[in-house]
Structure 1
Amino acid sequence: MENQPKKAMTEEERAALATKLDKELDEFIANLPKRERNNEPPDENWLEEFDKHPFFMKKLPEPGEEMHPLYEGLQQLKYDPNENTPDELAISYKDDGNFNFKHKNYRMAIISYSEGLKVKCGNLEVEATLYNNRSACHFFLKNYRSCIRDCEWALKIKPEYRKAAARAATACLESRRYEDAVQFAEKLLEMKRDDEEALDVRSKALAFQKEAERDARKQKAVEKKRRKKESELLAEISKRNLIHEGGLTIDKLKPKFQELMEFPVDLVDGALFWPTVFVYPEYQFMDFVQEFNENTILMEQMKNVFEVNPEWDVAKQYSAQNLNVYYESKNKVFKVDTNKSLGEIIQSKDFVIRCGTLSFMFFPRGSKAETDFLDKY
């Protein structure tokens, strides 16, 4: 951190301050609790009392802690605008900031430097240093935008401020502002043609910039391809005259079931593959078919699903040939011809697709569960 020499106190000022401190110390000792000379153990709080006194405290009060009157008085004396010139106040705040920075208390240092800037002392060297030092705090906190802004202010005041330009270049590099990083590096090279730090930053920034531009082109191509595929998908669905609840958009085609979210309807070699739910109301259970080809016969898909008897089918009734299949639409229920392809089934004028997902209900043929279900309609 950069320091500026502070105006020395006069002999009269030193004598007055020493007298004040001596008086305060005498009063402090005189006011300590009196103890009788006996064998009683000393007051357990006496060490704590000494630790609170400015002459003996081992650490500065934390924000919000009660301050000893003498310490508070010293603070007021240090920052009293009636006792200090604006230049002295700014330097005092800068020194406090430097102390906190040295102990890596960057946020407290930022507060001190900011207070120093509020004084508006008019000393351009001090103000440039305050901005530069505050930028260093922001850099270590990874507040790169604030760091760059403070560096820019420091450079406005002091255009040849190498430290500010170097930190701004590095902060731009860290925040992927490669073009700005190159500009700050060029500014450094104007100050010193063979500046190794500037050459390194410029080289890295140009390489990263080239890589970023290449990635942007790739991303643009991917995005273009995605939009084209989405357009073709919507066109195919519309061509089949399929009915989708709420209208037909890509967002409304996104499945709501967790198991199907990664498998929205897809168009592959001219065929639609649908996320589909097989519902078994009797057992309150479901199967999820993530990619159901519209050209596949429903019965063939059922044979795959029920190739092995489900564990939950305690009555052993759920086999492909022993099931009736239904779909619900417009408060009505419709029986499905399982010998038809999925595409033929969903092209029915009564079939409504919801959230880009197909749904069918399965019952053992002639079962009580099927009868109870149909009685509701």
Structure 2
Amino acid sequence: MGNDNDAQQYGPARPPAPSQTDDPTQDLSQLPLFMSSLDEVPEGTNDAIEALKALAYEGEPFEIAENFRQQGNEAYRSKYWRDAIEFYTKALAVGCTVDEINGACYANRAACNLELKNYRRTNLDCAEALKINPQNVKALYRSARACLALDKILEAEDCVLRGLAIEGSNSSLKATQEKISSRKEAIARLDQASRERERLSKAKEIALKRALETRHVIQRTTSKRPPNLPKDVIVRLRDPLDPGSSLCFPVVVLYPLELQSDFIKSLSEDETIHSQLEEILSPSNLPPWDNKGEYAYPGIDVLVEKQKYDMHGKPNLSKIGPKASLRKVLREGKLELIDGILTVLVVPKTRLAEFVGAWKQKNPN
């Protein structure tokens, strides 16, 4: 009789135990059943897979193209748009001479690109499909939708009308036609609004120009507008369309002896500059840099620097009185509008002579 060792020696062999370090899913990924694409596998890794890949290109060109087209259709139905595009592209690359297959591939690839919002590619594919068959209603419909998405209204309308001439009862084309009509009306409203804005802007510009001319405001452009001022800091009319309404100006207040400044966003021509400075330089609310209280109103003088328009072009200084309205100052030509901004100089009365002396040294006659 044999012993247990003999039974183990001559009995059926056991399968080898799996390696503890092996990934149990690694080999599965090499099986066709578990692969998402044959093209993803490097060449030479699996003979069976290589055979399947070769099989995909066996047969007549029309058979190969039709096979890829059907795979593309399956991917399309599953909403795998990019996979479908790849299959349709492979079908077209085969060089099949059957117009029906090629036309369907172009039209179907256009449908995928439409879903992906690749509107230019959609139109290119539709154009190729229509070269093959000008009666391809699907291509006309998809091109119409792509053109509509790009606001190419005339082109979209043309595609729809051509499609309805072939298939007048096509509900998809009719629905697209309604969308085109709605979008066309919306664009017309937007264009009208844009033209109205442009007209108003031009009218405001003309009114402002006329207002400045009638007030004899001296203007100069130097392209040195302070960079820290907001864009909405501009000369404006209270009624933008009425040249006779009050003009409002942005004003920069400079304190040259202290190298400091203030800003008045909008000063009406009917007001005085002193009325604003009385608030800005109130004794109870002096700026932090005025440690000595030298600028407490009314202990200040307001000066303007004006460029002479004579042969020498030398600047001069003028003092603005506390009762002089901005309109009067502008009419007398004492203050210039430079780069759309008025600038005044403020110095303490006790230091006026000091400032004027320094100014004359800087601007000798």
Please name the residue that 2:192 is paired with: 217
In 2, Cα distance between the equivalents of 1:90 and 1:323?
A: 92
- Is 2:24 the partner of 1:47? yes
1:90–1:194: structure 2 CA closer, same or farther, 3 Å change rule?
Answer: closer
Please name the residue that 1:360 is paired with: 344
Specify the SS of the correspondent of 1:321: coil
Show CA shifts across 1:271-326 (max 9, x none). 43222333456777654322222343211232344466256356355444223345
**Number of matched pairs:** 330
In 2, Cα distance between the equivalents of 1:354 and 1:332?
A: 14
Q: Superposition pairs for residues 111-260 of structure 1, below 5 Å?
A: 111-234=86-209, 236-237=211-212, 240=216, 242-246=218-222, 257=227, 259-260=229-230
Contact 1:260 1:288 in 2 (8 A): no
Contact 1:128 1:153 in 2 (8 A): yes
Contact 1:266 1:272 in 2 (8 A): yes
* One-letter amino acid of the structure 2 residue matched with residue 296 of structure 1: E
In 1, Cα distance between the equivalents of 2:102 and 2:67?
A: 12
Please name the residue that 1:265 is paired with: 235
In 2, Cα distance between the equivalents of 1:260 and 1:146?
A: 44
In 1, Cα distance between the equivalents of 2:298 and 2:342?
A: 21
Please name the residue that 1:7 is paired with: none
Please name the residue that 2:285 is paired with: 309
In 1, Cα distance between the equivalents of 2:327 and 2:261?
A: 21
Deviation at 1:194, TM superposition (A): 3.5
Q: CA RMSD in A?
A: 4.3
Stretch moving more, 342-351 or 90-99: 342-351
Contact 2:286 2:296 in 1 (8 A): no
TM-score normalized with structure 1 length: 0.67
Show CA shifts across 1:179-199 (max 9, x none). 333333333433443333333
1:37–1:116: structure 2 CA closer, same or farther, 3 Å change rule?
Answer: closer
Contact 1:54 1:68 in 2 (8 A): no
TM-score normalized with structure 2 length: 0.69
Deviation at 1:105, TM superposition (A): 4.7
Q: Superposition pairs for residues 333-372 of structure 1, below 5 Å?
A: 334=317, 336-339=319-322, 340-343=324-327, 345=329, 353-366=337-350
- Is 2:298 the partner of 1:321? yes
Contact 2:281 2:287 in 1 (8 A): no
In 1, Cα distance between the equivalents of 2:339 and 2:277?
A: 23
Larger-gyration structure (1/2):
2
Specify the SS of the correspondent of 1:360: strand
Contact 2:257 2:355 in 1 (8 A): no
1:55–1:262: structure 2 CA closer, same or farther, 3 Å change rule?
Answer: same
Specify the SS of the correspondent of 1:218: helix
Consecutive unaligned residues of structure 1, counting only runs of 5 or more, are 1-35, 247-251
Specify the SS of the correspondent of 1:359: strand
Deviation at 1:262, TM superposition (A): 1.9
1:202–1:309: structure 2 CA closer, same or farther, 3 Å change rule?
Answer: same
Show CA shifts across 1:163-208 (max 9, x none). 3233233333333333333333333433443333333332332243
Stretch moving more, 199-208 or 338-347: 338-347
In 2, Cα distance between the equivalents of 1:230 and 1:361?
A: 29
Specify the SS of the correspondent of 2:271: coil
Please name the residue that 1:73 is paired with: 50
In 2, Cα distance between the equivalents of 1:299 and 1:258?
A: 24
1:127–1:289: structure 2 CA closer, same or farther, 3 Å change rule?
Answer: farther
Show CA shifts across 1:107-146 (max 9, x none). 4544543444344422211221222122222222223333
Contact 1:324 1:335 in 2 (8 A): no
In 2, Cα distance between the equivalents of 1:102 and 1:285?
A: 72
